Structure 1
Amino acid sequence: MTTSPLLSATGLEVVFPGRHGAAPTRAVDGVELGIRPGEIVALVGESGCGKTTLARALLGLVPPTSGSVGFAGRPLDYSSRALKAYRRRVQLVLQDPSGSLNPRHTVYDAVAEGLRIHRYGGDERAAVSQALSRAGLRPVERFFPRFPHELSGGQRQRVVIAGALVLEPELIVADEPVASLDASVRGEILALLLRLRDELELSALVVTHDLGLAWNIADRVAVMYLGRIVETGDVEQVLTAPRHPYTRALLSVLPESRDDPVVLAGEPPDPSRIPSGCRFHPRCRLLVQGEAERAGVAEACRTQDPEVLSDSGGAQVACHWARVTV
């Protein structure tokens, strides 16, 4: 891809100090990632792999320990005034709409809140009406006086999306946007996000553990494990021909998969004790079954950390075995 990223991470690391003398936690450990105008990127991985911390760092909610976040070609300024202006252009959509909405606020007030925080000088009612209409809540006047408890889960999520859209952002970060919704509603919300991308040229980072969701909505996918992106590329290329054993394991448990489910041993390692070599090697079936040994990379898997993937836009994998068996 030749288009410059709208939002980018360069050498991004987020390290939290350990408590009571414990080792520091490397929640994000060297990430290169770009999201281009009009592009939807899915960030996938198990719980605890660092997805949400990376998303919060991209939003400016967590300052990086090292590396940088850039937006529209400029490094992110962490002054209060600059961050306020930045968050008008980059909005967050959270997983749980019930937790995102104040139960004492009407739908109108919930959507108008961002306008009031940013001291919007235009027609507030018209802006709220437009945002609700774009989010698929019509007729908008019927929703103005309602409270969150009077809405369905899907309607509450649409209100949250409207609250993000009302400021006309260029990019949204959606953290598990349909995880709390019934299966019958998920498709509607995903279709809404795709329509908004097409109509508004909106970019999005969708954080999810669900590769099926990534398949349905994303242009590109970045697979994260223990603080680092281990495979990335066009969604169809990565999800139809995965090269990293971790990506293969995640795909194997989807209902539509034709492969036998791969059960990974144990939980993801403690990010304060990242294994030597490839960080996935203690759970890698290729190493256990001898395939890495036959390929001549078993020692490298145990001792050599694969290089951090660049943000070239093409398919890449951080795996010693995959790189010698192409």
Structure 2
Amino acid sequence: MTPLLSATGLHVTFPGRRGGPPARAVDGVDLDVGAGEIVALVGESGCGKTTLARSLLGLVRPASGSVTFGGTPLSYASRDLKAYRRRVQLVLQDPSGSLNPRHTVYDAVAEGLRIHAYEGDERAAVASALSRAGLRPPERFFLRYPHELSGGQRQRVVIAGALVLEPELIVADEPVASLDASVRGEILALLLRLRDELGLSALVVTHDLGLAWNIADRVAVMYLGRIVETGTVEEVLSAPRHPYTQALLSVLPESPTAPVVLSGEPPDPSRVPAGCRFHARCQVLASGEAERVGVAARCRTEDLPVLAGHGRGAACHWADRE
């Protein structure tokens, strides 16, 4: 079956500092999101998750590679991008920063309809979107301003603003990071309900593997511009194969293993190391285990292929030794 959204061989670079080599923010990514599927894109801050999400939305043009939606390559002509963004909507991390404090809730949700010259009943469309986002009765919120709402209500307004155009897919960048723990579950339940009721697909960008466990069908773990492990949520989070994924999982409160403290910071994306890009921080290499099984030299010198956009895989010489 053709994926709803697909990236193939995607590379995004930014100019280097002071004329240095370019920063390889996204350095060869294949990623698929199927119809009615929720995919979690997971990794540390600075690993390229948000840049990848922006390139999938057409907000950042890749240096090479392609993005397709419904089997059709993404066109970067203004008219085509406008039509594409009606079908694919963005939900940002900070609802306070996403909403204009001078606009009422009604105007905030209706903005997308006005940009796309909606010809139907605007009031009914806004009310329906707010209701779907869990703000009922919707008319009670029409004339409110963002400062009159709780954090959870503001995030629901942002989600309603995305839903009002009836998109097929939403890209949610850290959708609950700024919310209290008591509200996070409500927003995650809302996203799941929208998937079940509307068939909505979602790419959820997060650093939180616990969130991925609660909401995702599949997980893609990203490190230094490349996806290093992918699979169903049960496969990746129950039996992680890549040392980086294992380290991320080890610090969750419910983890049965001792926390793995990674040394140093991720390398500069303008100077991606030879071999496995994680090897300088890898606990398996540092412990001597990679040397014992005979893959240490490969870890330091031999690059790994780009993982397929679907299926089970880990870009790791140690994990692939068997």
Please give the range of the TM-score, normalised by the shorter of the 2 chains. over 0.9
SS in 1 for 2:82: helix
The equivalent residue for 2:240 is: 242
Q: Paired residue for 1:185?
A: 183
Counterpart code for 2:316? C
Q: 2:317 — aligned with what?
A: 320
- Matched letter for residue 313 of structure 2: Q
1:127 shift after superposition: 0.2
Distance 1:10 1:27 in 2: 15
Which of 56, 80, 86 is 1:82 aligned to?
80
Q: CA deviation at 1:310?
A: 1.1
Deviation string 1:53-106 (CA, Å, 9 cap, x unpaired) is 000000000000000111110110000000000000000000000000000000
Look up the SS of the partner of 2:241 in the other structure.
coil
2:17 corresponds to which residue?
19
Q: Displacement, 1:257?
A: 0.5
Helix, strand or coil at the partner of 1:321: coil
Unaligned runs of 5+ in 1: none
Partner residue in 2 for 1:165 = 163
Deviations 1:160-206 (A, max 9, x none): 00000000000000000000000000000000000000000000000
Matches within 5 A, 1:115-134: 115-134=113-132
Q: Distance in 1 between matches of 2:283 and 2:214?
A: 28
Give matches, 1:191-230, under 5 Å.
Answer: 191-230=189-228
Aligned pairs (5 A) from 1:214-293: 214-293=212-291
* Cα separation, 2, equivalents of 1:28 and 1:154: 32
- Report the 3-state secondary structure (helix = DSSP H, G, I; strand = E; otherwise coil) of the residue aligned with 2:320: helix
- Between 13-22 and 105-114, report the one with greater CA deviation: 13-22
1:160, 1:108 → 2: CA distance?
11
Q: Secondary structure at the match of 1:191?
A: helix
Report the Cα distance in structure 2 between the residues aligned to 1:213 and 1:54, rounded to whole angstroms: 19
- The residue correspondences of 1:34-113 to structure 2 (distance < 5 A) are 34-113=32-111
Q: How far apart are 1:288 and its partner, in Å?
A: 0.8
Give the letter for the 1:106 counterpart.
T
SS of equivalent to 1:20: helix
How far is the alpha carbon of 1:4 from its aligned partner?
1.3
CA distance in 1, matches of 2:138, 2:131: 6
Q: Does 1:8 align with 2:6?
A: yes
TM-score (norm 1): 0.98
**Equivalent position amino acid for 2:44 in 1:** E
Report how far residue 23 of structure 1 moved.
Answer: 1.4
How many angstroms does 1:219 deviate by? 0.1
SS of 1:167's partner is coil
Name the CA distance, whole Å, in 2 between partners of 1:292 and 1:169: 46
Q: Secondary structure at the match of 2:17?
A: coil
Question: Please, what TM-score do these two structures have when normalized by structure 2?
Answer: 0.99
Cα deviation, residue 314, structure 1: 1.6
1:195-223 superposed Cα distances (whole Å, 9 cap, x missing partner): 00000000000000000000000000000
SS of the aligned residue for 1:68 comes to strand
Q: Secondary structure at the match of 1:99?
A: helix
Q: Match for residue 308 of structure 2? A: 310
2:139 & 2:300 partners in 1: Cα distance? 62
Q: Percent identity?
A: 81
Unmatched 5+ stretches in structure 2: none
Moved runs in structure 1, 4+ residues, more than 3 A? none
Quote the RMSD (CA, aligned, Å): 0.6
Q: 1:136 is matched with which residue?
A: 134
| 1:238 match: secondary structure | helix
For 1:215 and 1:126, locate their aligned partners in 2 and report how far apart those are by CA, in whole Å: 35
Work out which of the residue numbers 147, 150, 153 in structure 1 matches 2:148. 150
Q: Secondary structure at the match of 1:177?
A: coil
CA distance in 1, matches of 2:139, 2:201: 29
SS at match of 1:323: coil
